[in-house]
Amino acid sequence: MSHKNTENRTSCVLLNFENDIAIVSLNRPDKHNALNMDMFYQLDKISKQLRKNKKIRAVIVTGEGVDFCSGLDIKSILKKPSRGLKLLWKWLPGHSNLAQRVSTNWRKVPVPVFMCIHGRCWGGGLQIALGGDFRIATPESTLSVMEAKWGLIPDMGGTIGMREVMALDQGLELAMTAKVIDAQEALENKILSYISDDPKTKAKKIISEITQNSPDAIAKIKQVFHQAWHKNDAAILARESFWQWKMLLGRNQKIAVKRHSGKPDLPYKDRS
């Protein structure tokens, strides 16, 4: 099977096909692939397209430049308050909003999805990676749940993936401290599936083994396993969104931004 290798260099998310493998590349290298609104929309669109593509056998998600994804482009998103509303808005509490779909959509693609990580994989970048079936990182990669630094909670659907791979105490420490960990610690904490000098080559090796088997069987294995491992996903997505709104409307979130933007001694208010 062969697909035409297609690419749009003006896009901030690239979609290529290498035979029966879809390659999705975050493409804002000058911004360390920080997530702006265009990236959210394009990731949402591409992942939905791939869900319907019956010819592909696997997906690889990677990033152009020196980093996989350094997190949310705060300045770009906050420039217009309406952008935050568009990210968080949803019709039903248990459904994914735009911010969550860049993670949760990958779980619905009926082929294995490999997140190939290098450099920084922080905040929203890690939330995206947690939506994949496998995460492979270079030895020098760093990972972080960065949201608490800005007075927020992780609210991009990655909590579902984190619950599946990490012990509760390790997840709490990572999210509460917003600390940066290296690839080895991430592997020990089960966030990563593998460490490799060449994540894409490692992913393709596993894909070559998977594609020896029926695509129908692989699709159903993914579906059955996700259903077996998942419990109360809708409740998790609803709680993420509800509490993030509470954080955004609270006094301490604004103080958190100021503390990490040049006023480290500014005291927090008592917990609301």
Output the pLDDT for position 32: 96
In this structure, the strands spanning 194-195 and 113-117 are unpaired
Taking only the tens place, the pLDDT of each residue in 106-130 is 999 999 999 999 999 999 999 999 9
Higher pLDDT, 33 or 7: 33
Report the DSSP beta bridge partners of residue 113.
59
The SS3 of residue 68 is coil
In this predicted structure, the answer to whether residue 8 has a pLDDT above a threshold of 70 is no
Band (270; pLDDT cuts 50, 70, 90): confident
Q: What is the pLDDT of residues 128-140, one digit of tens each?
A: 999 999 999 999 9
In terms of C-beta density within 10 A (0-12 exposed, 13-18 middle, 19 or more buried), how is residue 2 classed?
A: exposed
On the question of pLDDT at 7 being above 70, the answer is: no
What local confidence, expressed as pLDDT, does residue 223 receive? 86
What is the C-alpha to C-alpha distance for residues 41 and 251, in angstroms, rounded to an integer? 30
pLDDT score at 119: 98
Instruction: Kindly indicate the confidence band of residue 5, based on its pLDDT and cuts at 50, 70 and 90.
Output: very low
Find, among 233, 101, 219, the residue nearest to 163 by Cα.
Answer: 233
CA gap 20, 59 in Å, rounded: 9
Q: What is the pLDDT of residue 254?
A: 77
- Rounded to whole angstroms, what are the CA distances from 206 to 197, 203, 219? 15, 5, 16
Q: Write out pLDDT tens, residues 197-206.
A: 999 999 999 9
What gap in Å lies between CA 107 and CA 130, rounded to an integer?
A: 10
Predicted confidence band of residue 2 (pLDDT cuts 50, 70, 90): very low
pLDDT at 25 over 90: yes
Set out the domains of the chain in order of their start, with CATH numbers: 13-259 (3.90.226.10)
Q: What is the pTM of this model?
A: 0.83
Classify burial at 29, counting beta carbons within 10 Å of its beta carbon; exposed 0-12, middle 13-18, buried 19 or more. middle
**For the residues 142-146, what does the mean pLDDT come to?**
94
Report pLDDT digits (tens) over 41-58. 999 999 999 999 999 999
Model pLDDT, residue 9: 44
Helix axes 81-88, 233-248, angle to 10 degrees: 160
For residue 1, the SS3 value is coil
